[in-house]
Amino acid sequence: MNQKMSNIANELTKNNIKPSIHRMRILEYLMDKRDHPTVDEIYINLKKECPTLSKATVYNAVSLFVNVGLVKALTIEGTEVRYDYTKNNHGHFKGEQCGFICDFDININQMNFDGLDHCEILSKDVNFKGICSECLLNNKR
Amino acid sequence: MNQKMSNIANELTKNNIKPSIHRMRILEYLMDKRDHPTVDEIYINLKKECPTLSKATVYNAVSLFVNVGLVKALTIEGTEVRYDYTKNNHGHFKGEQCGFICDFDININQMNFDGLDHCEILSKDVNFKGICSECLLNNKR
DNA sequence: ATATAATATTGTAACGAATACAATTGATAG
DNA sequence: CTATCAATTGTATTCGTTACAATATTATAT
């Protein structure tokens, strides 16, 4: 096992998740490709290398990861859940025409808000939607 | 038709939506009960008064409303879309234990962010999750 | 008022994402 | 090597949503 894989194994063990081959592969995928994939996208792409992989395994793995906080489940638009490994605070912008999701910088923790006294806030999400620069250019033509 | 209903009819006409009885009832429901209902909840509750109402009509109506910007589709958690009439800017907090969603004050437009140059931003959402004050109290017992 | 056209509504079928679960496979310890 | 436990698989099922043809309702013109 190379260095990268043993790091991934470590991440999992730290969170009380046994580092099986599939789980490691799935986490590796999420770490490498930060394009907020759906379960289906993870499944289709990993299936090439691991032909025995089942979609249920992907569902199991990502929900384990989400439960321990290793990855975040993004629900920017209805009926699709996407997964994001990145931990540093950022917002998500979804282009409504092309469907592309990109990260943007925003200091979510500096935002001041009111009306949630005595609540325990566990996660904060900022989602913008609109037309991305590329689509705007294409539309002009 | 009373004053309230003719106001609702007006809102719809202004947005080029013909004010049919069902559409008015559905919009009225969203205006009165600001608890971010799902299509199912709207359907079940209105069915009592309008027994002929079909779920397809609710889907049609809310998607018309969303398209013209009369109501907002909330996707705080995966696999459920909720609808919100309120137009003034606020955030949504979802209690993960009880599922209750409440609004909170946050000035979304004052937040400064970076990395979305040349994009046209059409909507901004702020979603927090955690444990609400009531659940926290209950857990202690 | 009546006929005609346009639109809204209904009910059902079909789809897709997600979950549940029993059966199988794989890993681990004695 | 065997027994035990956990991971994985494949399938069946559920549920929210969409699609669509049939029906009902509304508006318009005669």
pLDDT in tens, A56-102: 999 999 999 999 999 999 998 877 899 999 878 899 999 988 888 99
Measured CA to CA, the distance from residue A116 to residue B90 in angstroms comes to 12
Question: In this predicted model, what pLDDT tens digit does every residue of B72-114 receive, in sequence order?
Answer: 999 988 778 999 998 788 999 999 888 889 999 999 988 999 9
**Beta carbons within 8 Å of B133's beta carbon, 6+ residues apart:** A117, A118, A119
The reply to whether B139 touches chain A by the CB within 8 Å rule is: no
Measured CA to CA, the distance from residue A19 to residue A11 in angstroms comes to 9
Confidence of residue B29 (pLDDT cuts 50, 70, 90): very high
CATH number of B3-83: 1.10.10.10
Do B3-83 and B88-140 agree at the fold level? no
- Cβ distance B50 to B29 under 8 Å? no
Within 7 Å: CB of B61 and strand C?
Answer: yes
Inter-chain CB proximity B121 and A130 less than 8 Å: yes
Backbone angles phi, psi at A11, to 5 degrees: -50, -45
Residues 4-63 of A with CB under 7 A from strand D: 17-18, 20-23, 50, 52-57, 60-61
- Cβ distance B124 to A126 under 8 Å? yes
Residues 23-82 of B with CB under 8 A from A: 73, 75-81
Question: From the list B104, B119, B128, which residue is nearest A132 (CB)?
Answer: B119
Mean pLDDT lowest among A57-61, A128-132, B98-102, B130-134: B98-102
Within 7 Å: CB of B59 and strand D?
Answer: yes
Distance from CA of A73 to the nearest CA of B (A): 8
The reply to whether B112 touches chain A by the CB within 8 Å rule is: yes
Q: Are strands A120-131 and B82-84 parallel, antiparallel or unpaired?
A: unpaired
**Beta carbons within 8 Å of A102's beta carbon, 6+ residues apart:** A92, A93, A95, A132, B115
Within 7 Å: CB of B86 and strand C?
Answer: no
Would the pLDDT of B39 be above 90? yes
CATH number of A88-140: 3.30.1490.190
Query: Which range is most confident: A41-55, A91-105, B80-94, B127-141?
Result: A41-55
Q: How many CB pairs under 8 A join A and B?
A: 118
Within 7 Å: CB of B16 and strand C?
Answer: no
Would the pLDDT of B60 be above 80? yes
Within 7 Å: CB of B40 and strand D?
Answer: yes
Where along chain B do its domains lie?
Answer: 3-83, 88-140
The two tokens of residue B36 are 């971010």
Q: Which nucleotides of D are covered by protein (CB under 7 A)?
A: 6-11, 16-20, 26-27
Inter-chain CB proximity B76 and A75 less than 8 Å: yes
Confidence of residue A141 (pLDDT cuts 50, 70, 90): confident
